[in-house]
Structures are given as structure tokens and as C-alpha cells.
Structure 1
Amino acid sequence: MSDAQVIIADDHPLFRTALKQAVYECIPDAAIIEAESFNELLANIETQPSLEIVFLDLHMPGNDGFTGLTQLRNNHPDLTVIMVSSDERTDVMRKAINFGAAAFIPKSVNLATIASAVDSVLNGETWLPDDIEKLPDDEQAQKNKQLAKQLAHLTPQQYNVLSLIADGQLNKQIAGILNIKENTVKKHVSAILLQLGVNNRTLAGIAYQQLTLNPPQHDVL
């Protein structure tokens, strides 16, 4: 992967610079693009189909917790997503892996550790800090993995409909936002309920809201 296409999505310029240095340690000829918001990331993905690796900040404009990760896994399953954050809660790190991230890199680690994490991902492995990696899965982790699989099987349009359901939008409103017929929305909702194994839109919205995450008070980088 000597000429890998990489995008770093983080709203903090200093950390983007640090990540670039770490990537160049592992992939000297990498082509690196930067994005300051999740919408900018999506725009770059659409115009750069050769992108292979995404570094995604857990708490950045347009990305609410794991909603960005699962959207990328749903819409662009071939992309390798590496989560980065100063949010170093154990359950958050493990949840990232359960929802499909290839790695979770805390922003407090040094450049050598970041480079090691990237190298592990390039070798097809998942990466977490050593003390987190050794913890066994619990019942919630299994539920998260199951939800991730269910979300991955939704079509991109169904995923969009689900996110709007979780936002409290009615079918008519969703139709207007997505510029589709209300009857089409109803069909999407039926398919979503079937895939998630729930019998009403309220429960579907609750399932999606499990992806959201409040940033810790100290998250300033």
C-alpha cells in the first residue's frame, strides 16, 4: 500500500498534522487529504473514489458519536475507518471496534504508538490500546456487534430514513427532505423495522440513538 489514499477528518489542525506524520512513517508515499467536518469528509469521498483509509474524529462537526462510523460502514464498506479521539473511556473505545472501526487511537498517545496502530491496521488487524484489547466481550458488546451488522445490511437510503426517524421526523417530512414519495418512505420504514427486528418506528429510532454519544467535559482536543 505504498501509494495509499488517506483522508484525515478532524477539526483540530495540530492533531491532523500529528496524524499525517504518523501515516508517513508507515506509508511514505501516501496521498493525504484533510477534512474539518463530517460533511467535508463525505464530499471528498464522493469525489475521490480511490480513498482507502479514513481517520475519523469521534467528536467533530457533523459526527455525533458513532453515527458517522456506521454511515461510512453502510455506504462505503470498502473503506477502512480508524477512530481517533481524546475521549478515552474504555467502553467508548471498545464500542468503536464493535461498530466496525479498524482501530481506536487515543489522542494522548505518542507518534510512535499512532504509527504502530496504523501499521497493525495495514496488516489487516484491529487495534486498541493494550490494556483495552485484553478485556473480554460483555453482553452489551455482543448487542453492539449485532446492531452494527443490522445497520450494515440497510441500503444507504434506508440508513438515511432511519436517521431521520431517530430525529423525530414523520414520513411526510422525510419524503420532503429526501425528495422521494411518501409511499417510498413507508416501504423503507417497513424494511428497516424488519431488518432491525422491531415492530415500530419508535424502537427503530431508539436503536439508532444508541450510536450517539455525549462528549466528555474534558474533550478539548
Structure 2
Amino acid sequence: MIGAQVAIADDHPLFRAALKQAIIDCIPNAGMLEAECFSELLKLIEQTPTLEIIFLDLHMPGNDGFTGLTQLVNHYPDLIIVMVSSDCNGDNMQKAINFGASAFIPKSADLTTIATAIDSVLEGNVWLPENNQEGVDQQAALNHQKLAKQLASLTPQQYNVLAQIADGQLNKQIAYDLKIQETTVKKHVSAILEKLQVNNRTLAGLAYQELMHTAAENEALVES
């Protein structure tokens, strides 16, 4: 993948520098873009239609848990997403793959390991560190796989509506924010409930919020 366009979305300059070095070693003449928050990344994606690979920090500003990953997978299915994080327990790693990432790279990884991960992804493989099964809740993993498939079945607009539902917005406010008719919102909500196999919008919102639990739980552990 000579000359591929790559974006590094991370708010830590030192880790971005380490990633850039590994990318240079693995992808000759790579074009590299950087973003310090999720909204900045979305602008880069819109401005760079040739973008192929994104390295996404799990906890960067604007990215709540795995909501950013699922949004990218849903809206831009052709992009290769590599998650990076210091929260590298087995459950987080497996969840990232379940929700559509091609790899999960711990921030503690050395340049050789990062390069190995990049090479594996470029070959079309899914990459996780060795011994990644430690701490994995198998039933939770199955639930995440099911939710990932359901979210992937949503259209980008349905995904946007779901995010608004999870934020507690009513149909009228969603219609205003997304600049669509309220009747259209109602149709989207009905389709969302069917695809997520839930009976009401509260349960749909809870399904979306499941994506944010990892971030909140791990930050609480760090602070305690």
C-alpha cells in the first residue's frame, strides 16, 4: 500500500510521533494527517476522500468509548480502523474487533510490535496482541458481536437518529437537528427498533450507550 493516506487521531503528541515512525517504516511515501479530537478527524475524512487507514485513540476528546469506532464503521465502511489505547485488557481488545476495528494496538507497544500490527492489517488480517484472551468475558463478547452486527445494519442516518435517541432527544428535536421531517424521524425510529430487536426507544438508547461503558468504567478505575 505504497503512498497510502493515513490519519492518526490521538490527543497525545508523543504517541502520534511514535505511530508516525512505525507508519513510515511500513508504508513507503505514506501521506499522514493528524487529528487531536474526533470532530477534527471527521473533518479530515470529509476533506480527504483518498484516506485509507485511521489510527483511533479510544479515549480522545469527542470519542466516548466505542461510539467513534462504530460511527466510522457505519458511515465509512471502506476505511481501515486501528484502535489504540492504554486500556488494553482482553475485553476491550475483543470488543474493538467485534465493533469493526482491524487491530487493537496497546500504547505500551514498542515500535517493532506496532510495525508488526500495521503489516498484518495491510495484509488484510485482524491483529491483536498475544494473550489477548486474558480477562475476556465470553458471554459479553457474544453480546457485543450481536450488537455490532445490528449497528452495522443501520443506515448512516439511522445511526445519527440512534445517537440522538441515546442523548434523550425527542423526535421533534431530532428532526430539527438533522434537518429532516418529523415523520421521517418516526420512520427511522421504527426501523431502528426492528433492527436492534428492541421494543422501545429507551432500550435502543441503552444499546447505544453500551458502547460508552468501557470508557466510563476504565476512567473510574484510574481515578479510584
Q: TM-score, normalised by structure 1?
A: 0.95
Specify the SS of the correspondent of 2:81.
strand
Q: Work out whether residues 86 and 219 of structure 1, in 8 Å CA contact, stay in contact via their aligned partners in 2.
A: no
Task: For 2:14 and 2:125, locate their aligned partners in 1 and report how far apart those are by CA, in whole Å.
Answer: 27
- 1:204-215 equivalences under 5 Å are 204-212=204-212, 213-214=215-216, 215=218
Give the corresponding residue for 1:216: 219
Q: Does residue 112 in structure 1 map to residue 112 in structure 2? A: yes
Specify the SS of the correspondent of 2:132.
helix
Counterparts in 2 of 1:219 and 1:43: CA distance versus 1, 3 Å: farther
Q: In structure 1, what residue type is equivalent to 2:156?
A: P
Specify the SS of the correspondent of 1:64.
coil
Q: Work out whether residues 53 and 80 of structure 1, in 8 Å CA contact, stay in contact via their aligned partners in 2.
A: yes
Q: Does residue 146 in structure 1 map to residue 146 in structure 2? A: yes
Uncovered stretches (5+) of structure 1, i.e. residues with no partner:
none
Counterparts in 2 of 1:87 and 1:136: CA distance versus 1, 3 Å: closer
Q: Does residue 193 in structure 1 map to residue 208 in structure 2? A: no
Q: Does residue 176 in structure 1 map to residue 179 in structure 2? A: no
- 1:41-56 equivalences under 5 Å are 41-56=41-56
- 1:79-118 equivalences under 5 Å are 79-118=79-118
Task: For 1:193 and 1:131, locate their aligned partners in 2 and report how far apart those are by CA, in whole Å.
Answer: 37
What displacement does 1:93 show?
1.3
Q: Work out whether residues 90 and 135 of structure 2, in 8 Å CA contact, stay in contact via their aligned partners in 1.
A: no
Give the corresponding residue for 2:17: 17
Aligned length: 220
Q: In structure 2, what residue type is equivalent to 1:48?
A: T
Q: Work out whether residues 166 and 209 of structure 1, in 8 Å CA contact, stay in contact via their aligned partners in 2.
A: yes
CA-to-aligned-CA distance 1:168-188 (integer Å, 9 cap, x gap)? 111111111111111111011
Q: Work out whether residues 57 and 83 of structure 1, in 8 Å CA contact, stay in contact via their aligned partners in 2.
A: yes
Give the corresponding residue for 1:3: 3
Task: For 1:58 and 1:151, locate their aligned partners in 2 and report how far apart those are by CA, in whole Å.
Answer: 18
What displacement does 1:216 show?
3.0
Task: For 2:59 and 2:135, locate their aligned partners in 1 and report how far apart those are by CA, in whole Å.
Answer: 24
RMSD of aligned Cα (Å): 1.7
Task: For 1:147 and 1:168, locate their aligned partners in 2 and report how far apart those are by CA, in whole Å.
Answer: 20
Specify the SS of the correspondent of 1:161.
helix
Specify the SS of the correspondent of 1:168.
coil
Q: In structure 2, what residue type is equivalent to 1:71?
A: Q
Uncovered stretches (5+) of structure 2, i.e. residues with no partner:
none
Q: In structure 2, what residue type is equivalent to 1:124?
A: G
Specify the SS of the correspondent of 1:54.
strand
Q: TM-score, normalised by structure 2?
A: 0.94
Specify the SS of the correspondent of 1:188.
helix
Counterparts in 2 of 1:218 and 1:200: CA distance versus 1, 3 Å: closer
CA-to-aligned-CA distance 1:46-87 (integer Å, 9 cap, x gap)? 110111100000001110000000000000000000000111
Q: Work out whether residues 10 and 35 of structure 1, in 8 Å CA contact, stay in contact via their aligned partners in 2.
A: yes
Q: Which moved more, 1:209-218 or 1:66-75?
A: 209-218
What displacement does 1:134 show?
8.1
Counterparts in 2 of 1:181 and 1:96: CA distance versus 1, 3 Å: same
Task: For 1:170 and 1:136, locate their aligned partners in 2 and report how far apart those are by CA, in whole Å.
Answer: 36
- 1:26-41 equivalences under 5 Å are 26-41=26-41
Specify the SS of the correspondent of 1:78.
coil
Q: In structure 2, what residue type is equivalent to 1:97?
A: I
Give the corresponding residue for 1:78: 78
Identity of aligned residues (%): 65
